[in-house]
């Protein structure tokens, strides 16, 4: 089955495995390490990571744009940002190596990945924005909840 030639390098060619089986175990090792890091961080919760790493910009329209672009650093705790980034890395390796996306044509890769990425970003942005707005109404809008 020569048609099933696998691309055997990960990390943009930094590591090249000898066989597909070896690549699978290598990716498993990577995913296990990432999960272990997540679990250890989740248990110990280092105090230095429990606050956002940047404070919001003050001022006019430029500050607003800055706050939107850097929203991950300004409004999310560093620890949570690390978790989300590690999750996306794990998702990448599961899709690319376990689901063999790496061996598909470029058009199929883009067809699947960009569609999903675009729609999810859209959905998440709208719902989280709205949730934050409702929270501000609850907090500042004379809605009593402490009873």
Partner 1 sequence: MNSTLVSTGTEEKIWGGGNQPLKSSYGKLMMWFFIVSDALTFSGFLAAYGFSRFKFIDYWPIADEVFTHVPFLHGQELPMIYVAFMTFILIMSSVTMVLAVDAGHEMKKNKVIWYMFFTIIGGAIFVGSQAWEWATFIQGDYGAVQTKGGNILQFGTYKTIDGEEVFKRISVEDFATASHTERVQHENKNGLWFVDESALPAFSVSDVLHGLESHPEVLVRTQTINEEGEKTVLSRAASLEQVKNNGRRYVKGANLEVNEYGTPLFADFFFFITGFHGFHVLSGVVINIIIFFNVIIGTYERRKNYEMVEKVGLYWHFVDLVWVFVFTFFYLV
Nearest to partner 1 of 18, 59 (CB atom): 18
Structure token digits, residue 18: 């000898």
Note whether 26 binds partner 1 by CB under 8 A. Answer: no
Stretch that binds partner 1, among 10-18, 34-42, 56-64, 66-74 (CB under 8 A): 34-42
* Dihedral sign of CA atoms 12, 115, 24, 85 in order: positive
Rg of the chain in Å (alpha carbons) = 21
Nearest alpha carbon to residue 45 among 86, 100, 92, 83: 83
Minimum CB separation from partner 1 for residue 108, in Å? 5
Beta bridge partners of 100: none
Beta bridge partners of 16: 9
Which residues of the shown chain bind partner 1 in the complex (CB under 8 A)? 1, 4, 20-21, 24-25, 28, 31-32, 35-36, 38-39, 42-43, 50, 80, 83-84, 86-87, 90-91, 94-95, 97-100, 104-105, 107-108, 111-112, 115-116, 119-120, 123-124, 127-128, 130-132, 134-135, 138-139, 144-147
């Amino acid at each position: 089955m020569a048609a099933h030639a696998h691309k055997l390098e990960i990390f943009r060619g930094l590591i090249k495995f000898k066989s597909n089986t070896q690549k699978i175990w290598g990716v498993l090792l990577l995913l296990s390490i990432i999960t272990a890091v997540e679990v250890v961080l989740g248990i110990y919760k280092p105090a230095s990571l429990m606050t956002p790493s940047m404070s919001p910009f003050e001022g006019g329209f430029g500050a607003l744009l800055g706050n939107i672009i850097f929203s991950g650093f300004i409004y999310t705790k560093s620890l949570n940002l690390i978790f989300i980034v590690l999750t996306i890395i794990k998702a990448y390796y599961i899709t690319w190596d376990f689901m063999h996306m790496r061996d598909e044509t470029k058009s199929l890769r883009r067809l699947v990945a960009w569609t999903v990425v675009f729609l999810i970003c859209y959905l998440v942005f709208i719902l989280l924005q709205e949730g934050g707005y409702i929270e501000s109404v609850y907090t500042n809008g004379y809605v009593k909840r402490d009873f």
